[in-house]
Structures are given as structure tokens and as C-alpha cells.
Amino acid sequence: MRRKLALLPVLVGLAIVGAFAGGAWAVPDEQKPAASDLPDFLRPLAEADKIVVYSIDGTDRFEKKQAPKTEEEFRGYPVLGKLTIAAAKARQEIVEAAKQATDKRDAARAKCFWPRHALHVEAKGKSVDYVICFQCSWFKVVDSKSVSDLGMQSHEKLQAVLNRHLKEAGIGLAP
């Protein structure tokens, strides 16, 4: 009997540690904030209450007359479709892909800026827009105070993630 009682505190301690480490009281990875290890311009994306992914047709401004006529524009570009990313896991996937795409920013890139994708983010009562051109590797961040142009080096994952979400929602992509 004494042996069983001696093991009781050990078993209770293991149960508590297990619960906090990965059991009922643990916060799932998909809900953990990732903002702490991100550059300032990506933090709103990680803290987002709402992420809207846009498929836009970023035709060159001089060719604007050839752009499709749509009911909605986003930052001056025709919107082909949009969807709200509600699932925390999907939002986290976008954050991680954006971080990877911008980890090594490149100042030497093409100057076309013909974006085909955009993100509208709402976090902590503020909104930030990310307009993305994978063709020339520009990443434009627009908030209420400023517009920043950033280069990307490795954007294949971000492009694939955004394309997948748009295609799964039946939204077409610009050529």
C-alpha cells in the first residue's frame, strides 16, 4: 500500500506535465502567435483577425484599357475574386510562407510590378494591405501611414499557397 501511495505524487506530476506539454490545457500550434519572430511589416499578418486573399489582374498601367472590367478594384487593380481565410491553420500557413518569401529580401529585382495577388489584413483594429507581384518579386505593404516596397527572393511557396486557396474556392487567376 505504501508503494502505491509513494507513486501517487509521481503519477500526478507526470499527468500535470503531460497536460501542459501537449494535453488538454496546451495551446494548439495553429493558435500560437508567430509575430514575435517576424519583421515589423509581417506582424499584422500574424496577428490578423481576418485575412482576405485577392486574385487581381495587375496589368501594366499603360495597358489598363485592356484590363478586364470588374465590379470591384483593390488598390487600383481589377478583382477577379476574393476569399476570407477563416481557419487558423490556413492563416498560419500563409504567415509562414510570407515569412519564408521575405526572409532574404532582394533589392535587385525587375521593376514591372504587375501584381496578381493581394492580401487584406485586419488586426487589432487596423488594416494592412499586401500587394504581391511574383513576376518581379515585389511585395508592397500599404497601411494607414505608409507604403513600403520590399523585394522577395524565395516566393515559390507563398505563390503556391495563395494559388491553392484561390483555386480551391473556384477563383480564377490572372494570366
pLDDT in tens, 97-140: 999 988 876 666 667 888 999 999 998 889 999 999 998 888 89
Are residues 78 and 24 located together in one domain of the fold?
A: no
- In this predicted structure, which of 59-63, 133-137, 165-169 has the lowest mean pLDDT? 59-63
Give me the domain span that covers residue 3: 1-28
115 and 74, same domain (yes or no): yes
Same domain, 8 and 70: no
Kindly tell me if the per-residue pLDDT of 91 is higher than 60: yes
Do the domain assignments include residue 173? no
Q: Are residues 99 and 159 in the same domain?
A: yes
Residue 3 pLDDT > 60, yes or no? no
Q: Using an 8 Å Cβ cutoff, are 96 and 83 in contact? A: no
Report d(CA 113, CA 155) in Å as an integer. 15
Query: Quick one: 64 and 8 in the same domain?
Result: no
CB atoms inside a 10 Å sphere around CB 76: 11
Assess if residue 75 is contained within a domain. Answer: yes
Which residue shows C-alpha cell 514575435? 36
* 96 lies in some domain: yes
Q: How many domains does the chain have?
A: 2
